[in-house]
Amino acid sequence: MNFKLVSFVFFFSISLLSAQKSEYTSLLIPDSLKQNANAVVRLDQIDILISSQRNMNVKNKRVVTVLNEKGQEAINAYEHYNKKTTVENIQATVFDAFGNEIKKIKRKDFRDQCATDGGTVFSDSRYIFLDYTPTQYPFTIIYESEIETSTTAFIPQWFPLNDYQLSVEKSILNVSYPDNLGFKKMEFNFANFKINKTVDSSTKLSYIATNIPALKQEDYSPAYSVLPKVMMCLELFHLEGVDGTAKSWKEYGQWYSDKFLTGTTELPEETKTKIKNLVGQEKDPIKKAAIVYKYLQEKSRYVSIQVGIGGWKPMLANDVDRLGYGDCKALSNYTRALLNAVDVPSYVTLLYGDRDKHDIQSDFVSMQGNHMILSIPNGDNYVFLECTSQDNPFGYQANFTDDRTVLVVKPDGGEIVRTKNYENKGNAQSSKGNYSLVENGDFSGNIEIVSQGSQYSQKYRLETTQPTEREKHYKEYWDNINNLKINKTTFSNDKDKISFTENTAISAVNYGIVSNNKMIFVVNAFNQTSGVIKRIRNRKNPFEIQRGSYDTDEIAVALPTGFTIESLPTTFELNTKFGEYKTEIIQKDNNNLIYKRSIFIKKGIYKNTEYDEFRLFMEQISRNDNAKIILNKNQ
Amino acid sequence: MKIKLFVNFLFVVFFLNANAQEFKLGKVSIKELEEKACPNDTTASAAVLFNKAKTFFKYDIKFGFSIVTENSYRIKIYKKDGLSWANYKLPYRTGYDKLNDDRVEFSDGVTYNIENGKIVKTKLNREGVFKTAINKNWKEATITMPNVKAGSIIEFKYILISENIVEFPDFIFQYNIPVNSSEYDVDIPGFFVYKGVVKRPSEIISESKVTRGSLQFANEYTVNKTESVSFEQQSNRHRAYYIPALKEEPFVDNIENYRISIQHELEKTQFYQEPVKDYSTTWEGVAKTIYLDKDFGKELKERDYITQDLARILKNVNSQTERLDVIFKFVQNKMNWNHKKGYYTDKGVKQAYIDGTGNVAEINFILIVMLNYAGIPTNPVLLSTLDNGVPIFPNRTIFNYVIAATEIDGKQILLDATNKYATNNILPTYTLNWTGRLLREDGTSEIIKLEPKFLSKKGVNMIVSIGENGALSGKFRVLRTDFEAFTFREKYEGMNQQNYLEKVENDFPGIQITDYNIENSKEASKPVIENFNFTIDNQCEIIGDKIYINPQLFLAETKNPFVQEKREFPIYFGYPAQEKFNVNIEIPKGYAVESIPKAIKLQIRENVVSFIFNAVILNNTIQIAIVKESNKQLVSSGFYNDLKSFFQQMIDKQNEKIILKKI
């Protein structure tokens, strides 16, 4: 009996020990989680403890089995810190596929690096990260960290699944908070995932997500609406030594104005006089603003310096005036000061600057955004100014701040508005030109291309860019023409109309391929559809065309003498929910043709099942863009 | 002879003086400020009007010698695009083992503008100077000049002090914007000898003479008393004027190889009454000093840690070839590279062996030691990777990588165990850079050519039939050897097969692949072979009663990679390669061949590239055979026009159609 008991104890303790180690062996992962996955998150537990308005503690335990080399970034073993945020603990342990420990990594073995990117001159933000060289796959890593911060304005967002090609066995969020700070949360994209809210009280919130298989990244997926997330915030929060309240956007705007903008717009008398003289007798506020904007663009440049509160509070307008540089906040606020001097009201505006249209979540009052622009009231609307750009036309926003909700910060409160939408047919490119071919297939042509709307932004820099870059642009734009020579280019940039015109003369040898008394060439020389739409097996996500576009071409084609037409492409027309496409050839006489082409792509969000239809539409266009003319040499 | 030399000397001095305009910070002219475009390059967004620097020595009784570099700039901003030149970043070293951190001090920062016809100065204050610790070995000092706009001129100066006397900071004559004048002076006390390595030396004028120099330093025992020593010193003056902007080009091995610059590396020290200490002068010197370093020579002698494993893996393995194979694979599998380069060990081979991870020196030293111990004489070869530049003169600091070299039956074998797909003489492509240096323990050394001398091959076979509506179906087989196989494995081995096929299908729009299989994907010493069946519906153009089809189908190249009008720098191909395509197209029932493209043979001088195209009709198939070779790794820019027209003709031929006609 006694003996048995001992052996039982012995057995028990052994199993306990090995259980601890084998809990995360790579061998136990179900196949459903391995499919399409480079790594599996076995457990990701985040415990957020908000003890007061000025104190937050975040603990993270993340257990990841890395299946192959590409799965390494799923480890996510890094923490940011600065003067207000300290890393209390950071460590990791590595296990082999059987759950045997192979390495312990202590804090001193993590690397410490400043968090500036190339465009930033200075930032006091740093991060500690793990630089681990795996010795085998698969392996499992347990990462543990704890940070302590006085900044409660940003509660980490919870992403139960934070990447593609990554599956999750279990992900847990536990938040606790005093009931008097106005804790709020908002859930996004939960529909297709197994996520349970386990606690939701006045002081505690918990979620658990289990068995999420890996997703594949799919082109044209709508931005920010695939992966699940929870946003959280406090109505009473703290940021860099400043307490804040935000129950509504109005209140938030007031707080932002009071704490960060008050007293920042003073300017030297000299500058005020200068700007008044520049504006002169002009009365119209928008026209005044255009003069001020031009002055700003001549005088300043974008330099990013982020130190402490300076990450939120704009540099004083006086300093920007003296130094001639600043970040988006500094330059927007400086422009506000200049406009103030000529009695034009304007408001700094918070938003996400991004090619993808990224909204400020308007029904969730909290600190959001990564960029600042300036809004000037214009009747019921606003004109928005990008103050970091030295060459944008006045009020131009396409492809970075267009068509999204933003927060206009007024002294009496914040207001959510939507920025300018660059509509379908307004994003136009119209080409008019001609080309001719001679007997040996050599090509020469002239073309005028006018770009407007969002297409303007893809072109207007050609004017100032280096000749080598310009040549590169055209050789890519017309990469369907081999042996291309750019003989001449001239540009005109009409910033008032937001219209950019290129006039180009080009030539190329052997554009028409001559063999066996025939010449074959593609009639659409000047505007081939770019971008093949990828075939995606079993597409899961809906897809989005973020901005529409409208191209029209009218090209006169002169055929070589001594040839007769064997075949001409027929008129081709497509009319679908995604857009319209039409080409036709008008034969003027034996040697002269007019080629007309129009392509209109509509903005829109479509179902996953419609993707193949869209791909087919684009494929037909691309095929017809390659339609050829065949000529016979006269014998 | 003597006279000639004298005249030469006079001429140089005269020449230097003729160009020598006195450049001093603070003396900006209205003319410079009013200039709207750079006269020598109207497209330039900014230009360095002058850059003047000197490097000299300082002595401190406590810390010894340090190198002081003073560098001043005057830069004109012509266009808004040039505003980025108003920020200047200077990285500097910290965290040395035994030396103090480098120090940097900026001064004399001023922006000049013209307002109402008058020069207005804005000084750079402390608020525009930043220092950031990037990581434990590097800091970065940044200045951002105030009040800069298109038309401004900026000036600034910095002093960089370093106790690391092994090398000077590189001096750059050429930037990505034009430089009007660049002057670099160096004073080296006679007890040091430095080797100066100049990139594109024909572009600069240099003069060297012996002068008297002196150093002042605080007396060790008496406060407020300075000591002085005087000595002969080497004074070198380097000048360059009107240097064009350095412009990026495609197919360049490393653009930095062509940037005009000068490097200095310590060769020897010869202190009074002390023996001469040789650092590098000759390759023998280089070999010796490197071997003497404890992180090199000693690490290569260490062998206790491997004996047990070695005995185990070599049991019953007898021939040299097999032994090499077993050892190489063992190290390659066991060791994992942490992506750190260098030719000195970091944590040491023993620790690396236990951890299973290490830097390139640790991993390849383990390989070298094991091979030697197994009776296969093996030596380290130092080399410089592509991104690190070209080693031309004997020096240590240019190298940043080490591999292993051995010989079996008189045949040289180069090995790199850091890479999972490397094998005998197949090294990661970034190591194929000019020459390496083989070092022996006895201090002798030897040049090793790293350019591969053999053709890496890719062979494609296709058998294709044409369906009713012009859809093609067929069998596809591709075999890749050597570097072709290496690069393929590096890219795709380990990729999920579904994803890989999706990628192939997207590379060739319209294709659908079935029955895919791959042979030898993991066995690096064998060719990798892929087989699949395919259908593709957009390769035939049916116009009227004719079918037009490309002889090389979807594999025809359509774009000439050489599109530049003018070429400045040599063209880099990577490694010699051969591509073969054999395509058999079955003539569909009811059709006859109207025409097929004619045979052609293209070749440029020195057989840099060649292309052979043959098409014949045999029974009811059209048989196409294409061989394309590029035989060099690097050719001079003089070949550019030939290459461009070669590719043009080749692509034209590849896109000539086979025409079938309904009968």
Residue appearing with tokens 């642009």: A473
Residues of A in contact with B133 (CB under 8 A): 114
pLDDT band at B223 (very low <50, low <70, confident <90, very high): low
For residues B200 and B222, which has the higher predicted lDDT (pLDDT)?
B200
Band (pLDDT 50/70/90 cuts) for residue B6 is very low
Whether A5 shows a pLDDT value over 50: the answer reads no
Q: Work out the average pLDDT over B516-539.
A: 93
In chain B, ranges of CATH 2.60.40.3140 domains: 2-26+45-278
CA A28 → CA A194, A209, B494, distances in Å?
Answer: 20, 19, 21
Question: What is the tens place of the pLDDT at every residue in A97-136?
Answer: 988 998 999 999 999 988 776 667 788 888 999 999 999 8
| Residue bearing the bigger pLDDT, A6 or B133 | B133
Question: For position A27, what pLDDT does the model report?
Answer: 82
**Which of B149, B496, B509 lies at the smallest CB-CB distance from A324?**
B149
Alpha helix stretches (DSSP H) within A342-448: none
A64 versus B136: the higher-pLDDT residue is: A64
pLDDT at B553 over 60: yes
Q: Could you tell me which of B26, B50, B46, B27 has the C-alpha nearest to residue B35? A: B46
Confidence band for A22, pLDDT divided at 50, 70 and 90: low
Q: What is the pLDDT of residue A14?
A: 39
B627: enclosing H helix or E strand: strand B621-630
* pLDDT at A175 (0 to 100): 98
pLDDT confidence of residue B11: 37
Of B81, B142, B336, the CB nearest to A464: B81
Distance (Å, whole) CA A206 – CA B249: 56
Distance between CA atoms of A292 and A385, rounded to whole angstroms?
A: 11
Written as six digits, the tokens of B156 are 């600034």
A114/B132 touch (CB, cutoff 8 Å), yes or no: yes
CATH 3.10.620.30 spans which residues of chain B?
283-449
Instruction: Give residue B565's pLDDT band: very low, low, confident or very high (50, 70, 90).
Output: confident
Give exposure, B219-257, as e/b (b: 16+ Cβ within 10 Å): eeeeeeeeeeeeeebbbbbbbbbebebbeebebbbbebb
CATH topology of domain B2-26+45-278: Immunoglobulin-like (2.60.40)
For residue B19, pLDDT beyond 70: no
Lowest mean pLDDT among A204-208, A461-465, B287-291: B287-291
- Helix, strand, or coil (residue A228): coil
Predicted confidence (pLDDT) at residue B273 exceeds the cutoff of 80 = no
Please check whether residue A270 touches B, CB under 8 A. no
Q: Is the pLDDT confidence value at A562 over 70?
A: yes
**Cα–Cα distance, A432 to A555 (Å, whole number):** 6
Smallest CA–CA distance, residue A219 to chain B, in Å, is 12
pLDDT per position as a tens digit, B305-338: 999 999 999 999 999 999 999 999 999 999 999 9
Contacts B149 to A, Cβ<8 Å: 298-301, 324
A238 contacts: CB under 8 Å, gap ≥ 6: A53, A54, A150, A151, A152, A153, A244
The predicted-structure confidence for B353-372, as pLDDT tens digits, reads as follows: 999 999 999 999 999 999 99
Q: What is the pLDDT of residue A15?
A: 39
pLDDT band (50, 70, 90) for residue A528: very high
Helix (H, G, I), strand (E, B) or coil at A203: coil
Average pLDDT of span A250-279 = 95
Long-range contact set of residues B123-126: C-beta below 8 Å, sequence gap at least 24: B124/B156
Question: Is the preceding omega at residue A542 within 30 degrees of 0, hence cis?
Answer: no
Q: Is A444 exposed, middle or buried (0-12, 13-18, 19+ CB in 10 A)?
A: middle
pLDDT tens digits along A165-182: 999 999 999 999 999 999
Single pTM value for the model: 0.88
Summarised one tens digit per residue, pLDDT across range B71-87 is 999 999 999 999 999 99
Residues 335 through 364 of chain A touching chain B, CB cutoff 8 Å: none
Q: Are the CB atoms for A224 and A605 separated by under 8 Å?
A: no
Q: What 3-state DSSP class applies to B248?
A: coil
Mutate to test the interface with B, among A468, A486, A620 (most CBs of B within 10 A): A468
A307 at B interface, C-beta within 8 A = no
Residue A21's pLDDT band (cuts 50, 70, 90): low
Q: What's the CATH number for B283-449?
A: 3.10.620.30
Residues from chain A that touch B559, judged by Cβ atoms under 8 A, are 479, 482
Q: Does A305 touch chain B (CB under 8 A)?
A: yes
Å between B407 CA and nearest CA of chain A: 30
Residues A425, A600 contacting (CB under 8 angstroms): yes
Domains and CATH numbers, chain A: 22-234 (2.60.40.3140), 246-418 (3.10.620.30), 428-633 (2.60.120.1130)
pLDDT in tens, A370-382: 999 999 999 999 9
Residue type, B195: K
- Asked whether the beta carbons of residue A133 and residue B357 sit closer than 8 angstroms, the reply is yes
In chain B, which residue's Cα lies nearest the Cα of A568? B543
Asked whether the predicted pLDDT for residue A8 surpasses 50, the reply is no
For residues A536 and B496, what is the distance between their CA atoms, to the nearest angstrom?
15
- Region(s) of chain B under CATH 2.60.120.1130: 456-662
CB atoms within 10 A of CB B60: 13
Question: CB distance from A200 to chain B under 8 Å?
Answer: no
The residue that leads in pLDDT, B15 or A153, is: A153
- DSSP strands (E only) in A498-562: 499-508, 513-515, 518-522, 543-545, 549-558
Residue A249's pLDDT band (boundaries 50, 70, 90)?
very high
- Measured from the Cβ of residue B211, the count of other Cβ atoms closer than 10 Å reads 9
Chain B: give the shortest CA distance to residue A39, in Å. 13
Is residue A263 predicted with pLDDT exceeding 60?
Answer: yes
- Per-residue pLDDT band for A19 (boundaries 50, 70, 90) equals very low
Using CA atoms, how far apart are residues A319 and A390, in angstroms rounded to an integer?
19
- pLDDT > 90: percent of chain A: 80
Q: Is the pLDDT of residue B490 over 50?
A: yes
Q: Which fold has domain B456-662?
A: Jelly Rolls (2.60.120)
- List the structure tokens of B626: 């294409």
Taking residues B615-641, what's their average pLDDT? 95
- DSSP secondary-structure letter at A99? S
- Please say if the pLDDT value at position B17 is more than 80: no
Distance, in Å, from the CA atom of A197 to the CA atom of B469, rounded to the nearest integer, reads 57
Helix (H, G, I), strand (E, B) or coil at B137: coil
Are A515 and B83 in contact (CB < 8 Å)? no
- pLDDT at residue B15 in the model: 40
Q: Which residue of A has its CA nearest to B566?
A: A468
Chain A hits for B338, CB-CB cut-off 8 Å, are 131, 133
* Over residues B477-481, mean pLDDT: 98
Interface of B with A in 504-533 (CB under 8 A): 505-506, 509-510
Cα separation of A442 and A437, whole Å? 6
